[in-house]
Structure 1
């Protein structure tokens, strides 16, 4: 099954994640003495129950925050989808008659929707408030030039981790403050363009000058390692994760992640009254429903927008409600 996903062009990280999930399910089958070719729905349910109960050291992402157990809901969703794909592969190969992993089904033509095996938990993404953002940027000032540029680019372009580290010098168009993201570097496999500001532009030009002095060349990957072990090699995604983790620790903002910059940028675009379609295009989302999960306006901002856009209606409603203050 892994070879099939690789051959049809799935991202290597996706294939590895699916492989880990299927391996976990098969390990559970071995422990319980179940044969994958004869597994029934009760074994699948027991496996999902185990996923909900097993210890999880990453307490900030627990489903049951007070229990200290249970994998993150998104992880369990991924495991179940991978197991369903595995059994579908066995069905299509004629090794099983039915798939024991039930899938959900949306309501169609008045029919009742069918819930999947694991209910999806939707949590609003965390974004820093102004105080936290200032602390992050103050701590970032102590970082090397390359890392400061990465912080600026991650925010300005709302870039995913893999998109950031795969940037090449030739992807930039400084005259128009644009970055051309190549299709092969994006999650959706569609090219798009994002912009950057004047501060990022100055960091970019300073980094190019420093980069030429260090590695002696102008083209190729923008972000290169300066460590003795990998000197001049392209910087990896894990390195960026470590940089951000260190930055969050120094700033006293432990919830900071590589995706925080993307969440904040897309939310700021919403604050600037961009349409949802424009934000989706900037983010590289195929579906605007994905974009809606990224945008997180505070209650204060929503209240202010409500007052502005419904002023005349609200005035009429207030006049009518005022009658409730009068004694009969």
Structure 2
């Protein structure tokens, strides 16, 4: 859905198999009409296009897909290399599709078949939840899904990696330094950062209004930013006036092709990727600064509900991972335990010179 509330028509030319399949196309159109985020639609379309390509190569029609077909599809996904490493041949290289990507691809396929069942085109969903492996160890109902989930903590840079990143960032243009500062300071997602407007800034109180239509959960929030970010923002606004952009967007492109146009999420991703490569920290991405900020807040002793409100999380479990990542909960318990053990050991040691007195 566009920022003004209107729907955004998918670019069907990029997904010819979906465009030519009436069932898949109808499902995507229903997702668009329901107002799903543009990135979500794009992820669904990429996943379904891949599944239709698999079905075509196996001469299988959507209405004749069986559980065995889905198992074959999952098997092929597990051996599919990431696009960055298309020439990988070793399965133990760690460069195949991540667990999260596998889950995302399968979720899109499952939702497509749920749509077909609801429409009366199929009797059952071949990608049903947890009907393949029965065991008391898995899930509340004793079943395990097609792909086992691994819950990994977000990646954040070490101090050495952070210093390497800073060395590169110091030489970045004013706009990039300002965007990086706000991304960390206010824990902004890529979409929230790139779609900021000049009217979203309250410089008198150093506050940012994150509009609902730009957020993942469609919930508006107001977050503070520091005096340091305020100085960078002031300098950038002065520079922005020289670009001649008269639109509402805060951050503008300075490339000759899109001069003074609002910066796109893809352009920003390329900027951050370039910084990561030059710093020798390839894992650094647009979302890393958000992860780092929330982890630092947990380290500083913020309560769970405070971090959740700051981040715009609807589910506290999403927030809890940053507390775990900071090690604060374990560190506090460890400190309390060690104090007791420490006191006991000291008492015991004090009794060594005169054991009779300690009886």
Do they superpose with TM above 0.5? yes
Q: 1:111 to 1:54 in 2, by over 3 A?
A: closer
Partner residue of 2:281? 253
Partner residue of 1:40? 66
CA-CA distance at 1:293 after TM superposition: 3.0
Residue 193 of structure 1 pairs with residue 222 of structure 2: yes
RMSD of Structure 2 on Structure 1 (CA): 2.7
Partner residue of 1:25? 51
Partner residue of 1:101? 127
Q: 1:89 to 1:200 in 2, by over 3 A?
A: same
Q: Which of 221, 231, 242 in structure 2 is aligned with 1:202?
A: 231
> How far apart in 1 are the matches of 2:174 and 2:336?
43
Q: Which of 325, 332, 337 in structure 2 is aligned with 1:297?
A: 325
SS at 1:215 equivalent: coil
Partner residue of 2:271? 243
Q: Which of 195, 198, 203 in structure 2 is aligned with 1:174?
A: 203
Residue 12 of structure 1 pairs with residue 38 of structure 2: yes
Partner residue of 1:119? 148
Alignment gaps of 5+ in structure 2 = 1-26
SS at 2:69 equivalent: helix
SS at 1:51 equivalent: helix
Q: Deviations over 1:196-253 (max 9, x none)?
A: 1111000111111111122164x61110011111111100001111111111122222
SS at 2:222 equivalent: strand
SS at 2:193 equivalent: helix
Q: 1:68 to 1:129 in 2, by over 3 A?
A: closer
Q: Deviations over 1:163-198 (max 9, x none)?
A: 000001111111211101000111110001111111
SS at 2:157 equivalent: coil
> How far apart in 1 are the matches of 2:187 and 2:331?
25
SS at 2:78 equivalent: helix
SS at 1:193 equivalent: strand
Count of residue pairs brought into register by the alignment: 316
> How far apart in 1 are the matches of 2:282 and 2:260?
30
> How far apart in 2 are the matches of 1:244 and 1:188?
24
